[in-house]
């Protein structure tokens, strides 16, 4: 298994797509941080909701709030990048015809898929750590201009470790859905399209949150969607570092699933997608390059 992960790491780290996605992802994070900084500096004397939003941005640029800002970027824009990366990692095996060669050397298809998944998640973890580094450097550079202290406690670091696990856990079902779609279609473009379409569909379904006021079945169905349970975990990450998005957005905390439910629901979705992916790769013939 370790040898398979090493082989997958070598393949994915040599592909230009991996580096292109990483660079764009980090540049977008830096752009977000400096945009928040510009707004905080240019709009200092606001009241009401606008003032609360500016203060929220200010906290998000300080320590330890920058950790929440960075992890929100990981679970926001980063979700799209994770889908693109996962589709490229699996779909290129079909388009280049390398899957057949790989399985000829090690016919354990389930082990191959698990190694592929583990490598993707490891690379996403590295990308997240690099994003945190970029966020910290940006916040440290802006601290003198904002009058912020550069100080992080041991408790902040412990919370950061847990928040990092949550952020990666949130990406897990998106990666698995994309892998399954790519395996099912044997196509990079189809897997990518399905993964991105689901993210768009999830945002659209979020617009139907008003159905919760009907209670009963509708409230239960909405609270069992992946997106609603992910909202709970991402909000926990923001709260862990002193940010309160509910003060500037119409967010009813009482309507969110509990952390335990969110963890279990995401685990059920992820487990189902992993089972389907393993069954699919074991039961279907492997074709050559398209």
Residue 187 pLDDT greater than 50, yes or no: yes
Q: Percent helix, strand, coil in the chain (nearest 5)?
A: 85, 0, 15
Higher-confidence residue: 231 or 221?
231
Q: Model pTM? A: 0.92
The four Cα atoms 52, 241, 133, 29 give a dihedral, to 10 degrees, of -30
Stretch 200-210: mean pLDDT? 67
CA–CA separation, 200 vs 198, rounded Å? 5
Mean pLDDT over each residue of the chain, to the nearest integer: 89
**Which residue ranges make up each domain of the chain?**
2-283
DSSP state of 108: -
Residue 205 pLDDT greater than 70, yes or no: no
- Tell me, what's the pLDDT at 35? 95
Stretch 163-179: mean pLDDT? 97
Lowest mean pLDDT among 109-118, 182-191, 240-249: 240-249
Residue 213 pLDDT greater than 70, yes or no: no
With CA atoms as reference, report the closest residue to 226 among 166, 172, 161, 280. Answer: 172
pLDDT digits (tens, 9 = 90+) for 16-52: 999 999 999 999 999 999 999 999 988 877 766 577 8
Contact call for residues 248 and 53 (beta carbons, < 8 A): yes
State how far the alpha carbon of 84 is from the alpha carbons of 142, 188, 241, in Å: 32, 9, 29
pLDDT digits (tens, 9 = 90+) for 79-118: 999 999 999 999 888 877 777 777 777 678 899 999 999 9
- Tell me, what's the pLDDT at 196? 93
Residue 53 pLDDT greater than 50, yes or no: yes
Residue 289 pLDDT greater than 50, yes or no: no
Ramachandran class of 276: left when φ > 0, alpha when ψ lies in -120 to 50, beta otherwise: alpha
Stretch 151-178: mean pLDDT? 96
- Tell me, what's the pLDDT at 2? 85
Residue 179 pLDDT greater than 50, yes or no: yes
């Amino acid at each position: 298994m370790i040898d398979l992960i090493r082989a997958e790491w070598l393949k994915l780290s040599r592909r230009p797509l991996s580096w292109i996605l990483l660079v764009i992802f980090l540049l977008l994070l830096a752009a977000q941080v400096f945009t928040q900084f510009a707004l905080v500096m240019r709009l200092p004397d606001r009241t009401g909701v606008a003032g609360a939003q500016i203060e929220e941005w200010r906290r998000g640029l300080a320590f330890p709030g920058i950790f929440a800002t960075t992890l929100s970027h990981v679970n926001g824009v980063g979700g799209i990048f994770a889908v693109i990366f996962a589709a490229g990692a699996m779909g290129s095996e079909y388009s280049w015809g390398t899957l057949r060669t790989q399985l000829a050397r090690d016919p354990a298809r389930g082990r191959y898929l698990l190694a592929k998944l583990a490598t993707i998640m490891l690379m996403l973890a590295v990308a997240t750590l690099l994003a945190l580094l970029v966020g910290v450097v940006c916040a440290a550079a802006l601290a003198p201009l904002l009058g912020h202290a550069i100080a992080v406690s041991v408790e902040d670091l412990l919370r950061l470790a847990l928040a990092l696990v949550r952020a990666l856990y949130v990406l897990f079902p998106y990666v698995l859905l994309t892998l399954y779609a790519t395996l099912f279609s044997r196509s990079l473009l189809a897997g990518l399209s399905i993964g991105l379409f689901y993210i768009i569909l999830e945002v659209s379904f979020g617009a139907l949150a008003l159905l919760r006021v009907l209670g009963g079945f509708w409230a239960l169905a909405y609270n069992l969607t992946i997106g609603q349970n992910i909202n709970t975990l991402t909000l926990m990450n923001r709260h862990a570092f002193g940010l309160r998005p509910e003060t500037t957005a119409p967010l009813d905390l009482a309507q969110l699933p509990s952390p335990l439910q969110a963890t279990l629901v995401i685990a059920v979705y992820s487990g189902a997608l992993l089972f389907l992916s393993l069954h699919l790769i074991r039961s279907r013939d492997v074709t050559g390059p398209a």
